[in-house]
Chains A and B, each alone.
Chain A
């Protein structure tokens, strides 16, 4: 089974900061890597699919990159409404796996 290592597990940043989260797969997963945002008490929301594609309606300050085993999720300018937990999710060999999550807080 493919393991996903997401880091950091928590992050504190100021409004306007550039924020980066990484996800590493234990094997090559091509670009089958997606990113979700989850706010407290809510269901996850898809932000980025296939490593770098912005879901419709998602602000352009969110972006993703990478392929193979190493992936990066970036918020170019942190906004107060971005406070949430972020998860990566991979697909390989007919199975799905989520990362452990990154809790993002405002400094």
Chain B
């Protein structure tokens, strides 16, 4: 059974760096084809894909946010970490991590999401 859970601060100040951790079980990020992505959703708005890391450490980022994002993995801990620099109130959103299907390009398992508010 695949599960994912996001953790991190619920409140960050403008200009600070956000660090979110996705802790997962039921699969290994060392298995060929596996990937874990991050998607966010501002209150009342649409989903936005942010980044994805593959089993081979290949990393992909949303072009509009690439300069602010870093995604890393710790295979031994079954964790994926997303950092986003220079946070702004418009970055207030629920942040989800999700499992990318091993052989295709969709997200078949999602975490419950974590709401991050950016405010001074």
Contacts and interface: CB of A to CB of B under 8 A. Distances in A.
Interface residues of B, number: 22
B109 to A, nearest CB: 9
Interface stretch (A11-19, A65-73, A75-83, A95-103): A95-103
B47 A101 contact: yes
Given A1-B63, A94-B60, A95-B63, A46 B107 contact: yes
Contacts of A49: 101, 104, 106, 108
Contact of A98 (B46, B52, B112): B46
B47 A98 contact: yes
Q: How large is the interface on A (under 10, 10 to 19, 20 to 34, 35 or more residues)?
A: 20 to 34
B49 interface: yes
B47 A44 contact: yes
Nearest to A35: B106
